[in-house]
Structure 1
Amino acid sequence: MLTRYDTAPINSLSVDSQTGFLHAKNVPIARVGVFPYLKADGSLTMEAKLPDELLADSTVESANSKPVTDEHPNEAVTTNNTKKYMKGFTADNAHVDGDKLKVDMTITDSDLISEIQKGKQELSIGFQTDIAPVKGTYKGMAYDSVQRNIQINHVAVVRRGRAGHSVRLTGDSAEMVIDDKGEKQEMDYKVVHLSDGSDITVASNDVSKVTKLDADNSEKAKQVADIKAQIKALQAKLDKLQGTADANKADADKAQAKADSAEKELSDYKKKFNADALDDAVAKRMDLINEVKPFVGDSFDFKGKSERDMKIEAIKSVNDSIDFENKSDDYVDAYFDSLEDNHKPSSVVGFQDSVTKTDSAEKETFDRYHMADMIEKQMNGGNN
């Protein structure tokens, strides 16, 4: 079952009859999640807004009484430029609601009010943050670093917001990226409800792959359950045979022999079908797929591919001149590890001691083909 990040419209927009100002109540301006950012060198990095950071008291407080702008300015909003950028302001009631940060706001600019009434209703925060190079995953989405000490500078009304349609004046879930032709494309993120009852967030293009993998894992889980049932039956058989041996001295040797045989069979089953080992193997493969995917792209079919196959495909995506026919697994592993170490995304620090970011996907885009070309040139240069 698939679930979208949709939300019901917030029916709380009102116009002040005296001033004409537009008031919006309980507006979500940011949400927890993992988001892409384009770095100065053209590479993409995934940064996490985790609950402990975005929903911290200091971050929530920073959303109070802040300027509202029409799109993001190219600088922080201060007293020196409010006449140029400020089109309204947030109230002083910022608060947490689930995984979102919400606040009331008032729009005072007639042009922006007109745009909002015509449908321009998505929001994006402009903020300062420290970037911690800590890798991890949040609800199934892998990230390269964590945004910490988030301090909101302004809230922009934009055409398309990084936090998705659920962060808007009236309510759905998408971002914009620029494709290799320079055209805007919508990139949906969807929530996949897994068979174990948990939810993970993935790009829409990956939904079929994730659901297929989940189905495979579910089938393996059923096999494990069947094997455990067989083990339980064998254990009961062993207990019964052991009891018979104790109760009937005349047949003790014969019963003990059968018990020993059953115990060996039980041990063999446990070794062959160790559930923990199977879980570890599945988790290891999922981790490797996440490591390889940035190199081979979303369209790559991982089905039936061994660990060696996947690593070779990742290496050849940046340098296809290497012949692995007679290379050992250790050679492939070492080359792949080196590939990862040499091409991990790194943080970019700016705007004094912290980074001023704008959550607008119209400003932060990623071209996979351009990134792969740069990586290949760097690899070829390193080997020479």
Structure 2
Amino acid sequence: MLTRYDTAPIDKVTQDAQTGFVHITDVPIARVGVFPYLKADSSIEMEAKLPDELLSDSTVSSADSKPVTNDHPKELVNQQNASKYMKGFTADNAHVDNDTLKVDMTITDADLISEINKGKQELSIGFETEIVPEKGEYKGIAYDSVQRNIQINHVAVVEHGRAGHSVRLIGDSAKMVQQDEVHKKGQSMETTKVRLNDADVTVATGDADKIIKLDADNSEKQKQIDDLKAKIKDLQDQLDKLQGDDEETKKNADKAQAKADAAEKELADLKKKYSGDAMDKAVTARLELINKVKPYVGDSYDFAGKSEKQLKLDAIKALDDSVDLTNKSDDYIEAYFDSMCKTNDSAHINGYNGPQPNIGKDSNDLDELRNKRYNFSNQF
């Protein structure tokens, strides 16, 4: 077991009018957290008081009815030396308040009461604990070891806490040392090391606890900043998506406008192409094509909206549905249609009653004639 000394301010002081004893109520003597301790070799180690340890029933009850001393004695207070060191006592009402251990106390020694009235108003807790090497993190602060089986021995009234008079915490001070360092009364280190962001940083001894508290505050602020950044990024992503949707809409509108512009140009080209004599020639050519196609497709055929190519294809199919013109070029279809028309000028075609060939009754003669009239494979 090692001995530790933590510091807290005296508050809520009253003096009994009859006895002159000083009563201090609801004193915060220790709190949960991670704190630096100066070891015998002058190195700093971050030790954790975790809730399961400091706020356990055993530790809380160890603060009941314990001696109050004037400064820390050079040894733990016990039955044999109590008359020498004991200047008062704690009450039997040690209790937990959030993450803090508190207790009332009474000071009976006249000399110590006089010093308190003159301004000696800080407390330092002397306790025994087992230091277990165990790295971890508590509320964003890394630690090297854990204090286990914490047992409070006494509460000392001191001139200034080891963290400096300006550093007044609810509970432990930032600067806590081993017993052999306490024995060097009147001595104090000008600088010490604290653990910040997983690194040992040298700071003024009186500012050590303040810096750790500020670091914890900064860690919390940084967390809030990170949360806000995450929210901003989410909102930015939503904005980018909405803008992306707008861009897509604009792109579709541009495509539609481009199609409309192309249609307008096509219409203008058609108007130009079919104006004046050009229109007359186009109408004449269309009528001539209809006259060529009509004998093949018949009077019931609907010519409206059909292109020249489609008219020719329909005429060829009407004559011989077995003809495969898939993937044939326009030139091929044009040549096929012209050859078909020349070959069949005097033939009997659907809807056309031209001169009839003299065909015998023999079916072989009929087949031979059909082959001569409709077989165009040797012409291309």
TM-score w.r.t. length of structure 2:
0.48
Larger Rg: 2
Return the structure number with greater relative CO, CA threshold 8 A, min gap 6: 1
TM-score w.r.t. length of structure 1:
0.48
